[in-house]
């Protein structure tokens, strides 16, 4: 039997010292040749004592670099029993200290990932200035918060609707979006969460938009003195307003006049001509010293009659979001009323390089839509049909997003490709607008309906299935109430809000089905079926897919295959990426149920100066729930069997070819793998049930952990996919709360390839769609 200790013979002592290495090698070579025939057949069966495996396993488990030491599971955690039967901690420490890695430097693969992460973090840390506008970082940058309050917004050639026909045609605009509550993101679904501060712009309100503002918003409330209003702009700078006024009964009325600014906050319509019931009333009213205010009682939070003037507050002319703009010029024609906007902070609009020809661009700050929140956002909204008018309806944007798709670039910039709202079937199914309340004195039903719809949607986005709720789930943040934009309390469910940066479910769960899952490059597995949980090392943080050192993957159960080329890549591209080393260019293949490994060796990492061709054959088994052990029963150097000679001299392989790296070590005559740390980060924590050498690869089966609920993929999911459910996940620069993300490749009817370290590259070539429930469908198929 081979022993871990070196033989206590003169020759054995020579092996112990580098000074006697040359003479020992010559002597050993002669003995090898002399004993070759005798040892080639019967001398290749050697096995180490069972305690040796335990000691080796414990040593490799604890032989981690400072970078990975923090990744080890707590002794009391779910993997505490994974190393039952191994040596004591004191023995482990002794072995680990005696066999430190030959090089403390990180493998080039990890260094490249760290460099990539640093570049991505620089993008996340930027504060983008544009066209003389900028925002400031007022809080530290975190995985949930860019620290920037507010976003820069640019728009051109966009028919922007708050809802329905209420809105304005934007020819060009530069503005700042400011959250209503400092430290909170802007929320597309909640227009009360943001104020639009227009710095410079050129917008038009045509007849349909002016009519909608007057007839559907300003004066459609219970007890309103006006109804059935229609506004028609005319050449010559006038507006013609028709409708009915209430004077014991409803009486037709016509007002013709002009728009002007009374001051920076108030827009005035002055009636130069009045008709009542088809009869001109100008002279009669002038003779009787009667003003319009004497005929009508109009005094609302938005508009009031002052003599013959209808005075309107510019900031409240449309439903929320609050709009702050300075009108410097008004031009009225049959085409509409055109407003020039300028608060004198931006001399001219210098369009950013990423500004689309038509659409909107939002940069900086955090903006949330449904479950997703791009941080320090760089998002363009563009039309699917570049030849048709582009209508963006804020209160119905979810319908447009669900009918469109997203594209990312590798740096995280996001393009949202949307259909024009009127082209959607849902646009023709809008429920009739309700009449506003008498107490509000304007049509507050718009925002009430919108907030009620938002509340219902949030129930879907925030729902955590009962099966995923465990005692470890943090207490959900209490739901607050949101006052209406006029300051009054709203009793509708739509006023409910929550913490937009967190969800209350467990850490993200992942199910992988029939996927070639690569950690990086050629290193990875074929996953037959696997359930796991991605657990951030700092509790309470989201999982950052860009930072593999930030989270661990806790395997719940399943089965994977480690193809032999992938296992060879694990050695050659990662574990052997250091100098000086004792092993080189390893290739693996199954032969008669055993694993044959070929490659080169150097004695003591450097002697002799050339790689000696070596072939080993043996078994690989799961010795416990954490460790794999490869035990060669045949060793050939330069084609000459050596196991018998080494046994005769009582020399373990480890003394000739010392090899100890993070996650793997040659201990005695066994190569011991720690499946937690042998792969590039993230750490894989699973309870091994078995390891089997097959022609396809090394088949690893994991015991199921019944204490953790598994993800539930969508019904009818594809044959090859990755499904992420629950918890908060940061992908690109976007935080997804209570995630529902489905990853597939529609161009591949077979097995999808997914590269964890290269997911940005692969996703940037494909498309992302957002469902009405806020879930993401990521298709890796290359865009045409």
Residue 480: inside a domain, yes or no? Answer: no
Q: Distance between CA 192 and CA 248 in Å, rounded?
A: 38
Half-sphere exposure in the Cβ direction for 504 (13 Å, CA) = 19
Residues 671, 575: one domain? yes
- Overall residue count recorded for the chain in this entry: 784
DSSP lists the bridge partners of residue 555 as: 532
DSSP lists the bridge partners of residue 595 as: 590, 618
Residues 659, 709: one domain? no
Q: Distance between CA 190 and CA 194 in Å, rounded?
A: 8
The pLDDT assigned to 413 comes to 95
The pLDDT assigned to 282 comes to 87
What separation in angstroms does the CA of 67 have from each of 96, 548, 710?
Answer: 16, 12, 30
CB 113 within 8 A of CB 757: yes
Answer with the residue of higher pLDDT: 394 or 102. 394
**Shortest CA distance to 338 belongs to which of 197, 169, 212, 215?**
169
* Last residue within a domain, chosen from 312, 342, 372: 342
Residues 32, 102: one domain? yes
The pLDDT tens digits for 250-309 are 999 999 999 999 998 999 999 999 999 999 988 888 888 888 888 888 999 999 999 999
The pLDDT tens digits for 35-81 are 333 333 333 333 333 334 444 444 455 443 332 333 333 333 333 33
End-to-end alpha-carbon separation of the chain, Å?
A: 64
Residues 548, 606: one domain? no
User: Would you call 144 helix, strand, or coil by DSSP?
Assistant: coil
- pLDDT tops 70 at residue 82: no
Residue 94: inside a domain, yes or no? Answer: yes
Residue matched to tokens 């460099």? 115
CB 386 within 8 A of CB 741: no
Six token digits for residue 492: 């509708």
Q: Note the Cα 229 to chain centre separation in Å.
A: 48
Q: Distance between CA 320 and CA 361 in Å, rounded?
A: 20
Residue matched to tokens 């003169």? 10
Q: Distance between CA 177 and CA 621 in Å, rounded?
A: 60
**Mean pLDDT (whole number) for 188-200:** 96
Strands 367-368 and 186-187 turn out to be parallel
Angle between helices 89-98 and 50-62 (to 10 degrees): 70
Residue 728: inside a domain, yes or no? Answer: yes
Q: Would you state the torsion angle of the CA atoms of residues 504, 742, 681, 549, taken in this order, to the nearest 10 degrees? A: -40
The pLDDT assigned to 90 comes to 32
Residues 25, 58: one domain? yes
Residue 308: inside a domain, yes or no? Answer: yes
The pLDDT tens digits for 434-475 are 899 999 999 999 999 999 999 999 999 999 988 887 534 433
User: Got the DSSP string for 249-265?
Assistant: EEEEEEEEEEEEESSSS
What's the chain's average pLDDT? 83
The pLDDT assigned to 605 comes to 66
The pLDDT tens digits for 503-533 are 988 999 999 999 999 999 999 999 999 999 9
**Mean pLDDT (whole number) for 480-506:** 53
* Sign of CA pseudo-dihedral 189, 153, 779, 726: negative
Give 28's pLDDT tier (boundaries 50, 70, 90): very low
Q: Distance between CA 7 and CA 647 in Å, rounded?
A: 10
Secondary structure letter of residue 148 according to DSSP = B
* Last residue within a domain, chosen from 342, 376, 399: 342
Residue 492: inside a domain, yes or no? Answer: no
The pLDDT tens digits for 694-751 are 999 999 999 999 999 999 999 888 899 999 999 999 999 999 999 999 999 999 999 9
Continuous segment of H or E residues that includes residue 50: helix 50-62
Q: Within 10 Å of residue 478's Cβ, how many Cβ atoms?
A: 7
Rg of the chain on CA atoms, in Å: 36
The pLDDT assigned to 202 comes to 98
- pLDDT tops 90 at residue 371: yes
The pLDDT assigned to 754 comes to 97
**Shortest CA distance to 590 belongs to which of 435, 697, 473?**
697
The pLDDT assigned to 18 comes to 36
Q: Within 10 Å of residue 246's Cβ, how many Cβ atoms?
A: 14
The pLDDT assigned to 409 comes to 95
CB 751 within 8 A of CB 514: yes
Q: Distance between CA 174 and CA 201 in Å, rounded?
A: 6
Non-local CB neighbours of 138 within 8 Å, separated by 6+ positions: 147, 148, 149, 182
Q: Would you state the torsion angle of the CA atoms of residues 583, 700, 71, 605, taken in this order, to the nearest 10 degrees? A: -10
Residue 463: inside a domain, yes or no? Answer: no
The pLDDT assigned to 31 comes to 35
CB 328 within 8 A of CB 107: no
Q: Domain tally for the chain?
A: 3
Residues 521, 593: one domain? no
Residues 531, 634: one domain? no
Instruction: Classify residue 202 by burial, with Cβ atoms within 10 Å: 0-12, 13-18, 19+.
Output: middle
**Mean pLDDT (whole number) for 113-128:** 93
- pLDDT tops 70 at residue 487: no
Residue matched to tokens 């005798």? 38
% the chain with pLDDT above 70: 80
Q: What is the largest CA-CA distance in the chain?
A: 134
Continuous segment of H or E residues that includes residue 283: helix 282-287
Q: Distance between CA 221 and CA 435 in Å, rounded?
A: 5
- 3-state SS string for 457-490: HHHHHHCCCHHHCCCCCCCCCCCEECCCCCCCCC
Continuous segment of H or E residues that includes residue 196: strand 194-205
Six token digits for residue 489: 């309390």
With 0.75 as the threshold, say if the pTM is over it.
yes
> Comparing 98-102, 377-381, 618-622, 711-715, which segment has the lowest mean pLDDT?
98-102
Answer with the residue of higher pLDDT: 629 or 581. 629
Q: Within 10 Å of residue 475's Cβ, how many Cβ atoms?
A: 6
The pLDDT tens digits for 649-694 are 556 777 777 888 889 998 888 899 999 999 999 999 999 999 999 9
Residues 267, 311: one domain? yes
Half-sphere exposure in the Cβ direction for 693 (13 Å, CA) = 19
- pLDDT tops 90 at residue 1: no
The pLDDT tens digits for 531-560 are 999 999 999 999 999 999 999 999 999 999
What separation in angstroms does the CA of 134 have from each of 129, 151, 154, 195, 681?
Answer: 4, 8, 13, 16, 38
**Degrees to nearest 5, angle at CA 504 with 503 and 505:** 100
Residue matched to tokens 């045509």? 206
The pLDDT assigned to 283 comes to 87
Residues 621, 727: one domain? no
The pLDDT assigned to 710 comes to 94
Residues 214, 336: one domain? yes
User: Would you call 129 helix, strand, or coil by DSSP?
Assistant: coil
User: Got the DSSP string for 158-176?
Assistant: EEEEEETTEEEEEEEEEEE
Residue 354: inside a domain, yes or no? Answer: no
- pLDDT tops 70 at residue 92: no
The pLDDT assigned to 655 comes to 74
Instruction: Classify residue 343 by burial, with Cβ atoms within 10 Å: 0-12, 13-18, 19+.
Output: middle
**Mean pLDDT (whole number) for 14-36:** 37
Non-local CB neighbours of 331 within 8 Å, separated by 6+ positions: 237, 337, 338, 340
Half-sphere exposure in the Cβ direction for 409 (13 Å, CA) = 9
**Mean pLDDT (whole number) for 358-366:** 96
CB 549 within 8 A of CB 682: yes
Identify the domain containing residue 518 by its residue range.
509-559+705-779
Residue 265: inside a domain, yes or no? Answer: yes
CB 196 within 8 A of CB 281: no
Alpha helices in 571-669 (DSSP H): 643-649, 653-656
Residues 640, 523: one domain? no
Answer with the residue of higher pLDDT: 667 or 329. 329
Residues 630, 757: one domain? no
């Amino acid at each position: 039997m081979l022993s871990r200790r070196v033989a206590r013979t003169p020759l054995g002592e020579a092996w112990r010292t580098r000074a006697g290495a040359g003479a020992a090698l010559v002597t050993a070579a002669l003995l090898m040749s002399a004993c070759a025939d005798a040892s080639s057949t019967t001398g290749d069966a050697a096995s180490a004592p069972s305690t040796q495996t335990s000691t080796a396993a414990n040593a490799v488990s604890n032989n981690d670099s400072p970078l990975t030491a923090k990744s080890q599971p707590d002794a009391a955690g779910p993997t505490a029993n994974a190393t039952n039967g191994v040596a004591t901690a004191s023995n482990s420490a002794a072995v680990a200290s005696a066999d430190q890695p030959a090089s403390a430097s990180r493998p080039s693969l990890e260094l490249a990932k760290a460099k990539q992460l640093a570049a991505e973090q620089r993008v996340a840390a930027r504060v983008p200035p544009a066209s003389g506008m900028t925002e400031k970082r007022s809080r530290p940058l975190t995985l949930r918060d860019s620290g920037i309050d507010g976003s820069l917004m640019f728009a051109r050639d966009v028919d922007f609707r708050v809802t329905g026909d209420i809105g304005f045609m934007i020819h060009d605009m530069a503005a700042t979006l400011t959250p209503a509550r400092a430290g909170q993101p802007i929320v597309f679904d909640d227009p009360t969460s943001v104020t639009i501060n227009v710095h410079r712009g050129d917008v038009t309100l045509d007849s349909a938009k002016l009519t909608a503002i007057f007839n559907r918003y300003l004066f459609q409330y219970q007890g309103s003195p006006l109804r059935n209003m229609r506004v028609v702009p005319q050449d010559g700078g006038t507006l013609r307003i028709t409708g009915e006024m209430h004077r014991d009964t409803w009486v037709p009325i016509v007002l013709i006049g002009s728009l002007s600014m009374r001051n920076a906050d108030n827009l005035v319509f002055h009636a130069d001509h009045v008709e009542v019931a088809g009869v001109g009333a100008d002279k009669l009213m002038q003779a009787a010293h009667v003003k319009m205010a004497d005929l009508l009682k109009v005094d609302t939070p938005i508009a009031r009659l002052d003599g013959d003037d209808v005075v309107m507050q510019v900031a409240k002319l449309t439903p929320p979001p609050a709009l702050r703009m300075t009108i410097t010029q008004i031009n009225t024609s049959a085409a509409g009323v055109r407003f020039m906007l300028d608060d004198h902070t931006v001399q001219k609009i210098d369009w950013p390089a990423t500004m689309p020809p038509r659409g909107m661009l939002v940069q900086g700050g955090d903006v949330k839509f449904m479950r997703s929140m791009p941080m320090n956002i760089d998002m363009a909204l563009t039309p699917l049909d570049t030849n048709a008018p582009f209508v963006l309806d804020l209160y119905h944007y979810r319908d447009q997003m669900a009918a469109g798709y997203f594209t990312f670039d590798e740096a995280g910039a996001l393009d949202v490709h949307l259909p024009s709202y009127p082209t959607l079937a849902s646009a023709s199914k809008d429920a009739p607008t309700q009449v506003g309340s008498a107490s509000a004195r304007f049509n507050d039903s718009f925002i009430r309906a919108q907030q009620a719809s938002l509340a219902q949607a949030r129930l879907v986005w925030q729902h955590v299935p009962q099966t995923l709720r465990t005692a470890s789930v943090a207490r959900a943040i209490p739901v607050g109430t949101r006052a209406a934009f006029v300051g009054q309390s709203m009793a509708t469910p739509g006023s409910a809000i929550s913490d937009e940066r967190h969800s209350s479910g467990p850490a993200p769960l992942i199910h992988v089905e029939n996927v070639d899952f690569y950690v990086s490059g050629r290193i990875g597995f074929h996953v037959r079926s696997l359930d796991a949980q991605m657990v951030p090392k700092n509790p309470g943080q989201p999982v950052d897919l860009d930072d593999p050192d930030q989270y661990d993957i806790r395997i719940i159960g399943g089965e994977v295959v480690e193809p032999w080329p992938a296992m060879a890549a694990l050695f050659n591209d990662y574990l052997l990426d250091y100098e000086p080393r004792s092993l080189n260019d390893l290739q693996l293949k199954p032969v008669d149920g055993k694993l044959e490994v070929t490659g080169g060796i150097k004695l003591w990492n450097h002697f002799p100066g050339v790689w000696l061709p070596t072939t080993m054959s043996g078994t690989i088994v799961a010795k416990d729930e954490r460790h794999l052990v490869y035990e060669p029963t045949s060793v050939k150097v330069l084609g000459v069997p050596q196991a018998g000679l080494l046994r005769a001299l009582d020399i373990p392989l480890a003394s000739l070819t010392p090899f100890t790296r993070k996650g793997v070590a040659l201990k005695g005559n066994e190569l011991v793998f720690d499946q937690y740390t042998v792969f590039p980060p993230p750490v894989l924590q699973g309870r091994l049930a078995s390891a089997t050498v097959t022609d396809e690869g090394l088949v690893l089966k994991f015991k199921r952990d019944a204490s953790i609920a598994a993800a539930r993929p969508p019904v009818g999911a594809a044959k090859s996919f990755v499904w992420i459910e629950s918890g908060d996940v940061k992908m690109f620069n976007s935080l997804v709360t209570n995630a529902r993300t489905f990853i597939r490749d529609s161009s591949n009817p077979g097995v999808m390839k997914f590269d964890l370290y290269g997911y940005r590259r692969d996703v940037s070539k494909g498309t992302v769609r957002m469902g009405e429930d806020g879930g993401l469908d990521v298709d890796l198929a290359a865009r045409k």
